[in-house]
Amino acid sequence: MKAEHCRDLQEENQSMQKDMVTLKGILQETENMHTQSKLHICNLMASCDDKDHQICTLSRELQILSASVGTDKTCEPAGESLETVWKLETEITNLQAMAEQQTSVIAALQNEVAETARAKKDLEDINQQTSLAKKVRLKHLDGSFNRLDESTVANWLSGSTCRAGTAMANERTALLDHGVYSVQSESEISGSGQQGNGFVHTSGHSATPRSLNTFFGVIVPTVLSMFSIVLFLRTGFVVGHAGLLQGLLMLAVAYFIISLTILSICAISTNGAVEGGGAYYMISRSLGPEFGGSIGLMFYLAKVCACGVYILGLVEAILNIFGRDPGSAVSEGIRVLPQGYWYTVLYAAVALQLCLLVCLVGAHVYSRASFLILLVVTVALLSVLISPLVVWPREFSISHQCPTNGTCVYNATYTGFNSTTLRRNLGPGYSLDYSTNTVMSFATVFAVMFTSCTGIMAGANMSGELKNPSVAIPKGTIIAVLYTFCVYVILFILVSSTCDRALLTLDYGFLQRINVWPPFVIIGVYCASLSAAMCSLIGASRILHALALDQVFGLPLAPAAITSKSGNPWVAVLYTWALVQCVVFAGQLNFIAGLVTVFYLLAYAAVDLACLSLEWASAPNFRPTFQFFSWHTCLLGIISCLVMMFVINPVYSSASIVVLLVLLLILHYRSPTSSWGYISQALIFHQVRKYLLMLDVRKEHVKFWRPQVLLMVANPRSSCQLITFINQLKRAGSLCWDTCSWEFWTPCPRIPSSPSIPSG
């Protein structure tokens, strides 16, 4: 039964292929006839002009002879002169008759050309409708393929489907070289391995099938990325140093910024098809290759640094449980792991190697395991919320390495719900951070806290694997952000009401100490950190893969376009893994938290800028189905991101903007031509139209009068001095229309000067 069904499908596809070939043949013949008719008309027009010239010459000779015969009064006209006049008149009559006959032939040929053009247009419409029907039919048959045997479907696809993707070029087209671009389908390009001069060489099968829905593709990775290490390892850090009030203020500011960015993301993602590459795809297709390439690379670096932060947070959580006590030289119980800078780098490399293995298998493995990870994190979070109702007050002794190479011991208290504890934790109490030995401030604490908000694009980065990204990205992102915001607010209030400031600032893993069952928190921290690291590694590799496919940076990123047979960009994963390995040499996550935050704020500002540009340009193709945004929200988002960048770290902010401008200039001077469109052209057109409409005829004055010159020239190349004179006359500030003969604008051979058209 399956074999017969597959045979029927193959026969139907072969029939459609034959119809397409026949239509293309007829269309080619029609185009040839159309070209021949136009050439024939050009030759006939040239012949008519020659005959008109001969008629004019003979008419002048006839006038001269007639004048000489009529003015000779002394003698009779000579017989030869009369005979010459008679012959000239006869020849003129014959030429006029031939000219009229050729004129009628030209009119008939013009009618034939018009009919041929109409027939050609009809054939093109039929060809387009046939291609569309074929695509719809192939898409409709996907459900049938899923029910067939995999080997049967593979054989059928190898014989037919691979020829179905050359209908038209789309926006995934690589950057064009000399105006030539590929006409390959999205599926061919997405699964490509190398590209060059507009052509794509695939390395295996076509693109990875879109199989993720809103929950598994957007909500789950976004929630896990936003929880990450801050939920379990930096909640006490934020509340302990900033206090409850400033901590809630930081949370409100951070979520206000990302909420404005989410509105822009929702608007862009619901405006049309969203392919692989997430934020890079949105920005590049909105602002062009220069802005898209530079911002995309910056966003890629932000993802790389974020992955390093999550790995270092995981190592910190491991050392909190299994690391040797700083004041002890021997192992005690399970605390057997030696501590130190190089040991931290070693542990981070091992954890990163585990993430690499998962990412090399493919994103589908992570998406399947992410739901289980979310369940584990949720259980751990519930245990944290329930513990204050069960655990009685306790006192702890905490030891740390002192700045003077000694060991300092501190006493901390868990009081349970206590109004006095809450009052003491309301205000700020910035002090020394024991992990970096630096005094904290509002900016440094906000930079660490903002890393919990950098996961809002985790779902957008998976756009290449989503079934319906235009629906899944807005819906899933908004739900995930609302959920995480509520969790953070509840957790901030909970810890500020139950723990004194010493416990919050001297032990970042204090939630494990006060939990009803400590392994809950340990497992939650490990799962949240690992999932966030893998999500960043996968998202960054997809961005790099999209940059390589578009050939924005040329050869340096060309190998990143290679994919496996299942569509996994394994070379891009290796690139990203190597860069993250360099990031973990920082040793402490608080060192690079500021850089990560600055990079992300710059990327968010770029997304707001893309949406603002499309809104201000009033582009006809910008009609998002998501309407809860305006240019005010976009502009406010840009200003908020830039202000917070310089509040957090002016040096990092200035350096990141300089790097962005350098990348922008490099891409601009490389002059890559793309088929995506340039927002700058839309903005220029919008402004020019606005200023033209502002012109008021009633306010014209002779002092500001400017000439508007209509210059008639046969050949601009031989009239340069005249054109220069006119340009000087109008002082390069008026309208000047240069008209040229047809021979400089049409491919017809040898057509004399007749009607002229304006070049403007």
The answer to whether the beta carbons of residues 314 and 351 sit under 8 Å apart is: yes
In sequence order, what DSSP letters do the residues of 312-325 get, joined into one string? Answer: HHHHHHHHHHHBPP
Percentage of the chain with pLDDT > 70? 74
Residue with tokens 């208290």: 413
Q: Which residues pair with 180 in a beta bridge?
A: 177
Read off the pTM: 0.64
What amino acid occupies position 602? L
Q: Name the range with the highest mean pLDDT among 56-65, 66-75, 190-199.
A: 56-65
Q: Identify the pLDDT of residue 214.
A: 87
Q: Which amino acid is at 61?
A: E
Confidence of residue 578 (pLDDT cuts 50, 70, 90): very high
Pick left, alpha or beta for residue 348 (phi over 0 → left; psi -120 to 50 → alpha; otherwise beta): alpha
pLDDT recorded at residue 592: 85
Distances (CA, A) of 195 to 96, 309, 489, 560: 62, 34, 49, 11
Contact 721, 695 (CB under 8 A): no
Q: What is the pLDDT of residue 422?
A: 94
CA distance 482 to 629: 18
Between residues 187 and 606, the one the model is more confident about: 606
At residue 73, the pLDDT reads 42
Total residue length of the chain = 760
Q: Give 299's contacts (C-beta < 8 A, 6+ positions apart).
A: 279, 280, 543, 599, 600, 603, 606
Instruction: Say what the pLDDT of residue 150 is.
Output: 42
pLDDT tens per residue, range 357-371: 888 886 677 777 788
Phi, psi of 288 (to 5 degrees): 100, 175
Looking at 72-149, list the stretches that DSSP marks H as alpha helix, in order from N- to C-terminal side: 79-140, 142-147
Q: Which helix H or strand E contains 414, and what residues bound it?
A: strand 407-414
Give the pLDDT score at 280: 79
Tokens of 35: 């070209």
Report residue 652 CA to chain centroid gap.
Answer: 25
Tokens of 181: 């671009």
Residue 214 DSSP symbol: H
Over residues 313-329, the mean pLDDT reads: 79
DSSP 215-280: IIIIIHHHHHHHHTTIIIIIHHHHHHHHHHHHHHHHHHHHHHHHHHHHHHHHHHHTSS---TTTHH
The yes-or-no verdict on residue 318 having pLDDT over 80 is: yes
Name residues whose C-beta falls within 8 Å of residue 225's C-beta, 6 or more positions apart in sequence: 454, 455, 458, 531, 532, 535, 536
